[in-house]
């Protein structure tokens, strides 16, 4: 008789970094890490925020300019054999032959040759089942020590994922969160992200993108928690409810293996929101 596969365990740590107990990990942590699928899911999230844009279809052409290539018309009505370039000219003028060229790309105020098209496809489409599978794969990647180190995160734990007791969600001060992260030996990752914060070159500084920032820790909570306000000022740290997890949060830049801190309640509630 073959024994069933043993359940994978994770250590629940106290706010002081001490082991309290062990709990079983949801099966989602055993998912296959599909890098291509994760990349598609992240791009789908990113492109979903793009607003389609483009000029009016009449831009550069909404005028009276007309080209009449006919020798039979009177001189004042034709644009051929009148010693002028054979181009459309504005009509509502006193004399047609003195009208300026308009309505063509190389004329002043003319339309663009290759204008932006608001109807072009700019969103990466992904099926719901593929999206859920990508999120499951990204969650599994957060438990792979090699992938997390490959992203450049700084931590000392030899086993992942990191799970902290539920009291962590009730913290209200940034210094309290920093003290817990120090006890868990992951605060160095926040310091690394802070050191990488730089002023962006170019005009982006005046368009709401003054700084270039790095991502550090992702904190996953069971419900809307006070720790959100406590941790939001820590450089590179994101706080998210377990029901709002997506591929971009778990794999910024399409690269899986983000250092993630789970609360015990979030880990227990994970199976409710993600069907493996």
Determine the Cα–Cα distance for residues 223 and 200; give it in Å rounded to an integer: 35
Which residues, other chains included, contact 68 with Cβ-Cβ below 8 Å and sequence gap of 6+? 77, 78, 79, 80
Locate the domains of the chain by residue range. 9-50+124-273, 52-121
Per-residue pLDDT of 261-270, as tens digits, reads 999 999 999 9
Name the nearest CA neighbour of 60 among 122, 30, 105, 97.
105
The predicted model gives 70-74 an average pLDDT of: 85
pLDDT exceeds 80 at position 273:
no
- pLDDT for the residue numbered 272: 80
pLDDT exceeds 70 at position 2:
no
The predicted model gives 204-229 an average pLDDT of: 94
Of the pLDDT bands very low, low, confident and very high (cuts 50, 70, 90), residue 82 is: confident
Which residues, other chains included, contact 4 with Cβ-Cβ below 8 Å and sequence gap of 6+? none
Second-level CATH architecture of 9-50+124-273: 3-Layer(aba) Sandwich (3.40)
Beta bridge partners of 68: none
Give 200-241 as a DSSP string. PPSGGGGTT--EE-----EEEESSS-THHHHHTTSTT-EEEE
- Joined tokens for residue 30: 């055993």
pLDDT exceeds 90 at position 90:
no
Burial of 177 (0-12, 13-18, 19+ CB in 10 A): buried
Whether the Cβ atoms of residue 18 and residue 165 lie closer than 8 Å to each other: no
Of the pLDDT bands very low, low, confident and very high (cuts 50, 70, 90), residue 98 is: low
- pLDDT for the residue numbered 97: 55
pLDDT exceeds 90 at position 68:
no
Cα 163 to chain center, whole Å?
26
Q: For the whole prediction, is pTM greater than 0.85?
A: no
The predicted model gives 196-207 an average pLDDT of: 94
- Joined tokens for residue 232: 């939001």
Phi, psi (degrees; rounded to nearest 5) at 117: -115, 115
> Over the chain, what is the mean pLDDT?
90
Whether the Cβ atoms of residue 112 and residue 48 lie closer than 8 Å to each other: no
Name the nearest CA neighbour of 216 among 193, 196, 194, 198.
193
């Amino acid at each position: 008789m073959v024994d069933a596969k043993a359940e994978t365990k994770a250590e629940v740590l106290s706010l002081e970094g001490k082991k309290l107990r062990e709990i079983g990990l949801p099966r989602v942590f055993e998912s296959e890490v599909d890098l291509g699928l994760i990349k598609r899911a992240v791009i789908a999230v990113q492109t979903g925020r793009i607003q389609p844009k483009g000029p009016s279809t009449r831009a550069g052409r909404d005028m009276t300019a007309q080209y009449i290539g006919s020798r039979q018309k009177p001189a004042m009505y034709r644009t051929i054999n009148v010693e002028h370039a054979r181009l459309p000219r504005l009509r509502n003028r006193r004399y047609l032959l003195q009208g300026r060229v308009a309505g063509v790309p190389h004329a002043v105020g003319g339309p663009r040759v290759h204008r932006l098209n608001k109807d072009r496809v700019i969103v990466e489409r992904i099926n719901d089942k593929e999206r859920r599978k990508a999120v499951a794969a990204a969650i599994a990647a957060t438990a792979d020590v090699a992938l997390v180190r490959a992203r450049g995160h700084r931590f000392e734990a030899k086993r992942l994922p990191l799970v902290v007791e539920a009291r962590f969600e009730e913290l209200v001060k940034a210094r309290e969160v920093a003290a817990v992260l120090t006890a868990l030996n992951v605060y160095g990752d926040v310091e690394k992200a802070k050191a990488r914060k730089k002023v962006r070159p170019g005009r982006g500084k005046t368009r709401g993108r003054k700084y270039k920032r790095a991502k550090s820790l992702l904190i996953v909570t069971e419900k809307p928690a006070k720790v959100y306000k406590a941790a939001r000022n820590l450089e590179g740290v994101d706080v998210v409810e377990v029901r709002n997890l997506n591929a971009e949060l778990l794999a910024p830049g399409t690269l899986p293996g983000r250092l993630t801190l789970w609360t015990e309640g979030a880990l227990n509630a994970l199976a409710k929101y993600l069907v493996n």
